Homo-oligomer: A and B are copies of this chain.
Amino acid sequence: MKTLIKEPLTRNAKNTFNMIIESAIDLFYKNGYHGTTVNNITQDAGIAAGTFYLYFPSKLSLYKHILIMFSHNIRKTIAANVSEKTSRYEKEREGIKSFIMLAKENPQMYNIIWESLYIDRALFKDYYESFANRYIRGLDQSVSNKEIREIDTEVVSYILMGITNFIGLKVVLNLGKNNDDIDHIVDVVMDLIKHGLFT
């Protein structure tokens, strides 16, 4: 995914660059991508309108940049937490918990990633396929290690992303009840993934 943005070089430019990004995240979350103009962003960031275009050719390029930032952030955080675990079960638990905690701490992130479906479907497809591909590699390794049963790991990657995303959604939007005890929620997920649902 190319964005054609101009990275800031001086400390001053970096500050401006980051202020644009912070204002955009805030406004995209509050008013949606379509409800936010470049003018809204520069006003919120307290900079001249023209300054925006020193870094970003368009609102879309800024959005793409934020999407890549979020994607890196999610992967890095999960990878760091998971790396301390040895068994696949522990890795899975930690990965799922890390994602839910990230979503809880950054409700904007969740909302803005999903909005790609309504901005450019190709971005959304790209985002989830690339996430799935990394997931599949990990699952395949665990099938080789005989920690996971022989199963279609591509379908499983979407099953696990679906579980994590909907549980994240439940926590972020406070759907239903009992959304404070993340460990309990993750325990239920792991119980189901380990022992199945039926008697």
Contact A197 B193, beta carbon cutoff 8 Å? yes
State in angstroms the CA–CA spacing of A169 and B193 once bound together.
Answer: 21
Contact B192 A156, beta carbon cutoff 8 Å? yes
Q: Which residues of B lie under 8 Å from residue A146 when comparing CB positions?
A: 199
Binds B, one of A12-20, A50-58, A67-75, A177-185: A177-185
Which residues of A149-175 are within 8 A (CB) of B? 149, 151-152, 154-159, 161-167, 169-170, 173, 175
Binds B, one of A39-47, A77-85, A120-128: A120-128
A117 in contact with B111 given A156-B188, A158-B167, A163-B162 (CB within 8 Å): yes
Which of A114, A149, A157, A198 counts the most chain B CB atoms within 10 A?
A198
State in angstroms the CA–CA spacing of A34 and B164 once bound together.
Answer: 28
In the assembled complex, the CB of A172 is this many whole angstroms from the nearest CB of chain B, namely 10
Which of A88, A148, A151, A192 counts the most chain B CB atoms within 10 A?
A192
State in angstroms the CA–CA spacing of A170 and B178 once bound together.
Answer: 29
A155 in contact with B189 given A34-B35, A162-B167 (CB within 8 Å): yes
In the assembled complex, the CB of A69 is this many whole angstroms from the nearest CB of chain B, namely 20
Given A152-B178, A165-B166, 16 further pairs, Cβ under 8 A: A92-B197, A124-B173, A132-B175, A148-B198, A148-B199, A154-B177, A155-B167, A155-B178, A156-B188, A156-B197, A158-B167, A158-B169, A159-B189, A162-B162, A162-B165, A163-B163
A residues near B (Cβ < 8 Å) are 32, 34-35, 88-89, 92, 111, 114-115, 117-118, 121, 124-125, 128-129, 132, 146-149, 151-152, 154-159, 161-167, 169-170, 173, 175-178, 184-185, 188-189, 191-199
